[in-house]
């Protein structure tokens, strides 16, 4: 029995691995088909002389030629099997939600909550998370059903403002990494719900109408088209958020919500360029503007860090003992083979600082998490002081020497 209990944390790690793996695979399948059909639709040769065929396309791939026809209406004879492409979306959402539970809800205390941001308990954190997921879909769906949907630009601006307000609110409730992931989860929920609630029902309506020899509901078809365009644009910000955990200078920044909004606009504008290009409109200026946007953002985030460096050049050589003491008391209580901090059975993410080698090996991550941002210790649970952060910083700038 005891072995089983001790196995539990390892089981969770493996479960995380398997579900994350599945999530990426089905996510690629979903986004891949979505990109493919978008591309296909825009590249069809429509100058075809036919009463039934709207456009055709030839392609060659993996050892075969493919000839695809898009029909003007439903097929005269329904094929035995019609492929729908819906489980890619559903399984992406289901596995994503499972990950949210495994990684975040089960570790709410240490990973979701940052007591310096908001002193909530795990139960409240989880209830709020669920409310944000449901709430963002309800708000978005309401806007789509309102007359605002007729005004594309206004809709996008209001959508962006609301999404930014939601991400701002999330950064005031959770730790920064959890806040970012929640924005992604809200957008991902909207995308999957679009498929489940609007796109697939509209396709069902189309198929049923064809089988009954009736006209399909045109309004349903139109809203499905709009939702699928929204999904197309949302893909880029969502994918950025999914990789953002590797970039602490984004989620760990003081104005992380603003950085997310700017990166999302840049991502969506690049998507817009490709969508226009597919329609043979070549607004090439969008690409250099997006690149310039990324460069400006990089300068905005990075320059303050360089200026700080210049001011502290007068420091004396930092004693390595001082560094090990700071790391031992402020970090080592969690990041050790046998953590002593309550609630930590094993070192988070397997990161340990038990020996000099452990510290040296992790210098870049220490800099990212403790100096260039104040993500660690989470919620400053061990009370690291600004001057201690500074000592670590100067030690690294002086070449991270371990000889006193």
Tell me the HSE value of 224 on the side-chain side, using a 13 A CA sphere. Answer: 18
Instruction: State in angstroms the smallest separation of the CB of 384 from ligand HEC.
Output: 5
Q: Which two tokens stand for residue 400?
A: 């991270």
Q: Give DSSP secondary structure letters for 196-263.
A: IIIIHHHHHHHHHHHHTT----HHHHHHHHHHHHHHHHHHHHHHHHHHGGG-HHHHTSTTHHHHHHHH
Quick check: 351 binds ligand HEC (CB under 6 A)? yes
Quick check: 230 binds ligand HEC (CB under 6 A)? no
Quick check: 345 binds ligand HEC (CB under 6 A)? no
Quick check: 341 binds ligand HEC (CB under 6 A)? yes
Residue 71: beta bridge partners?
53
What are the b/e assignments for 164-183, b being 16+ CB within 10 Å?
bebbbbbbebbbbbbbbbbb
Q: Which of residues 296-315 bind ligand HEC (CB under 6 A)?
A: none
**Which residue from 20, 274, 348, 396 is in contact with ligand HEC, where contact means CB under 6 A?**
348
Task: CB nearer to ligand HEC: give 241 or 286.
Answer: 241
Of 4-12, 144-152, 290-298, 360-368, the window that binds ligand HEC (rule: CB under 6 A) is 360-368
Of 72-80, 164-172, 254-262, 381-389, the window that binds ligand HEC (rule: CB under 6 A) is 381-389
Instruction: State in angstroms the smallest separation of the CB of 351 from ligand HEC.
Output: 5
Q: Tell me the C-alpha distance between 105 and 99, whole Å.
A: 9
Instruction: State in angstroms the smallest separation of the CB of 212 from ligand HEC.
Output: 53
Per-residue x/- mask for ligand HEC, residues 92 to 121, rule CB under 6 A? ------------------xx----------
Q: Tell me the C-alpha distance between 269 and 287, whole Å.
A: 8
Residue 55: beta bridge partners?
70
Quick check: 349 binds ligand HEC (CB under 6 A)? yes
Quick check: 380 binds ligand HEC (CB under 6 A)? no
With CB atoms as reference, the residue minimizing the distance to ligand HEC is 331
Q: Tell me the C-alpha distance between 93 and 379, whole Å.
A: 29
Secondary structure class of 56 (helix, strand, coil): strand
Of 32-40, 84-92, 193-201, 334-342, the window that binds ligand HEC (rule: CB under 6 A) is 334-342
Task: CB nearer to ligand HEC: give 98 or 381.
Answer: 381
Instruction: State in angstroms the smallest separation of the CB of 304 from ligand HEC.
Output: 21
Q: Cis ω on the peptide bond leading into residue 377 (within 30° of 0)?
A: yes
Task: CB nearer to ligand HEC: give 234 or 384.
Answer: 384
**Which residue from 34, 372, 377, 395 is in contact with ligand HEC, where contact means CB under 6 A?**
377
Q: How many residues bind ligand HEC, per CB under 6 A?
A: 24
Q: How far is CA 245 from the centre of its chain?
A: 9
Tell me the HSE value of 269 on the side-chain side, using a 13 A CA sphere. Answer: 20
Of 82-90, 145-153, 296-304, 348-356, the window that binds ligand HEC (rule: CB under 6 A) is 348-356
Q: Specify whether the CB–CB gap between 34 and 231 falls below 8 A.
A: yes
**Which residue from 366, 371, 391, 394 is in contact with ligand HEC, where contact means CB under 6 A?**
366
| Dihedral, CA of residue 382, residue 383, residue 385 and residue 390, to nearest 10 | 20
Task: CB nearer to ligand HEC: give 271 or 335.
Answer: 335
Short-list 5, 108, 78, 36, CA closest to 379: 108
Give residues in contact with ligand HEC (CB under 6 A): 110-111, 177, 245, 330-331, 333-335, 341, 348-349, 351, 362, 365-366, 369-370, 376-378, 381-382, 384
């Amino acid at each position: 029995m005891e072995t089983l209990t001790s196995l539990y944390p390892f089981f969770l790690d493996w479960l995380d691995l398997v579900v994350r793996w599945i999530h990426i695979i089905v996510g690629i399948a979903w986004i891949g088909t979505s990109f493919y059909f978008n591309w296909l639709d825009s590249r069809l040769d429509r100058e075809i002389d036919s009463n039934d065929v709207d456009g055709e396309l030839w392609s060659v791939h993996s050892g075969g030629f493919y000839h695809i026809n898009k029909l003007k209406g439903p097929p005269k004879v329904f094929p035995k099997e019609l492929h729908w492409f819906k489980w890619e979306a559903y399984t992406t959402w289901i596995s994503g939600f499972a990950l949210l539970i495994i990684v975040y809800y089960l570790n709410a205390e240490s990973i979701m909550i940052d007591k310096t941001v908001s002193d909530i308990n795990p139960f409240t954190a989880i209830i709020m998370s669920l409310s944000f997921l449901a709430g963002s879909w309800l708000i978005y769906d309401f806007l789509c059903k309102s007359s605002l949907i007729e005004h594309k630009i206004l809709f996008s601006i209001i959508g962006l403002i609301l999404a930014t307000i939601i991400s701002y609110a999330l950064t005031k409730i959770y730790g920064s990494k959890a806040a970012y992931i929640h924005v992604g989860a809200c957008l991902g929920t909207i995308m999957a719900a679009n498929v489940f609630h609007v796109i697939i029902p509209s396709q069902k309506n189309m198929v049923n109408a064809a089988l009954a020899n009736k006209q399909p509901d045109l309004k349903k078809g139109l809203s499905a088209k709009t939702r699928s365009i929204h999904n197309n644009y949302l893909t880029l910000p969502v994918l950025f958020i999914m990789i953002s955990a590797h970039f602490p200078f984004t989620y760990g920044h003081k104005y992380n919500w603003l950085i997310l909004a700017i990166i999302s606009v840049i991502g969506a504008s690049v998507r817009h360029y490709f969508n226009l290009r597919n329609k043979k409109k070549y607004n090439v200026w969008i690409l250099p503007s997006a690149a310039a946007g990324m460069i400006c953002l990089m300068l905005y985030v990075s320059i303050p860090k360089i200026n700080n460096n210049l001011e502290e050049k007068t420091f004396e050589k930092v004693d390595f003992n001082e560094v090990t003491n700071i790391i031992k008391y402020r970090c080592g209580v969690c990041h050790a083979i046998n953590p002593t901090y309550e609630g930590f059975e094993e070192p988070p993410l397997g990161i340990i600082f038990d020996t000099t080698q452990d510290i040296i090996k992790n210098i870049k991550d220490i800099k990212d998490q403790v100096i260039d941002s104040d993500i660690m210790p989470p919620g400053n649970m061990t009370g690291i002081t600004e001057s201690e952060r500074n000592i670590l910083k100067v030690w690294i700038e002086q070449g991270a020497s371990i000889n006193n």
